[in-house]
Amino acid sequence: MQYLGGKSRIAGAIVASINALTETGRPFYDVFCGGLSITVAAAATRSGSVLANDRCAPLITLYSRWAQGWRPARSIGYLDYKQLQAKQDPLDPRTALAGFGLSFGGKWFAGYARNKSGRDYYSSAVRVLSDKIKVCGGGVKFTCLDYSVIRVAPGSVVYLDPPYAGTTGYGYHKGFSRARFLEWVTSVQNSGSDVFLSEYESPGDGWTCVEEFPLVHGRLATRPERLYHLPR
C-alpha cells in the first residue's frame, strides 16, 4: 500500500543493519510504523516480540482489522473515496485504505489516484497490504499511542522514523516537538534500550551513523537518508 515517506525500498537494509548490532531475540518497537515496511522486515527476521505503533488512528484500525480477517466488501471507487474523505471515520478500516492506498503518492487524501494506463490502485493496495499482514501473522501487536506514553520494556530495540527535521508532516503529526521527542529518546536509552533513528542529519551528540541510503527519484538523486544509533 502506498504511504508517503514509507521505507519499502530500504526497510530490509535498515533492519539488517539493526540486527547486526543487536540480539534479534530482544523486543522490537516500531514507534512510527507508517506504511509498515520496517515492522514487516523485523517480524520476518527477528525472534523477539514486535510492536507497531502510530498516532494515525485510521491506519492502526486498518492494520488491526485486516489482521483479524476483515476485508472490504467491494472496490473503493471515486464516489466512495470522496465520502470517506469527507467523513474520515477513524474506526472505519476503509478510511486509511483510501486515504493512503488510493491517494496520489500515498499522501493522506491528496486526490483519487489514477493514470492514463488505467492502473488498478485498489487491487495493488489490497495485495501489498495482504502480503504485509501475512508476514506479521498474529505475533505483531498494533497500538495507536503518542510515542511519549509507550511503555518500552528495558533492554528493547527501538526504531524511530518521526517527521524529519525541516519537513512538513501531515495532520496526525502536526505540532511535533523535536525537543520533547529527544528528551523522551534519552529516557528510553537510559532504561537500557538501543535506539535507532532514520533522519537526514544527526540529531545530536551520542548518535552514530551506521548506514547511509542514497535515494533516487526518477533520474534525480536526493539527499541520502541515514540510520543513526544511540546505544544503551
The CA-atom distances, in angstroms, between 155 and each of 26, 29, 151 are 7, 11, 12
**φ, ψ for residue 213, nearest 5 deg:** -125, 95
Q: What is the pLDDT of residue 113?
A: 84
Strand segments (E) across 76-156? 140-143
**φ, ψ for residue 28, nearest 5 deg:** -120, 130
Q: Is the pTM of this model over 0.85?
A: yes
Query: How would you classify residue 17: left for phi > 0, otherwise alpha for psi between -120 and 50, otherwise beta?
Result: alpha
**What is the four-CA torsion angle of 112, 117, 121, 124, rounded to 10 degrees?**
-170
Q: What is the pLDDT of residue 169?
A: 52
Q: What is the pLDDT of residue 220?
A: 54
Q: What is the pLDDT of residue 166?
A: 53
| Structural domains present in the chain | 10-74+138-230 (3.40.50.150)
User: Which cell is 85 given?
Assistant: 474523505
Q: What is the pLDDT of residue 104?
A: 85
Task: List the pLDDT tens digit at each of the 232 positions of the chain.
Answer: 667 666 888 999 999 999 999 999 999 999 999 999 999 999 999 999 999 999 999 999 999 999 999 998 889 999 999 999 999 999 999 999 999 989 888 889 988 988 767 778 888 889 999 999 999 988 999 999 999 999 999 999 999 999 866 555 555 666 789 999 999 999 999 999 999 999 999 999 999 999 999 875 555 557 789 999 999 9
In 3D space, the residue among 37, 48, 46 whose CA is nearest the CA of residue 16 turns out to be 46
User: Which cell is 138 given?
Assistant: 498474529
According to DSSP, the residues that pair with 184 across neighbouring strands are: none
Long-range contacts, stretch 80-85, CB < 8 angstroms, 24+ apart = 81/112, 82/112, 85/109
Q: What is the pLDDT of residue 214?
A: 82
In 3D space, the residue among 3, 11, 34 whose CA is nearest the CA of residue 125 turns out to be 3
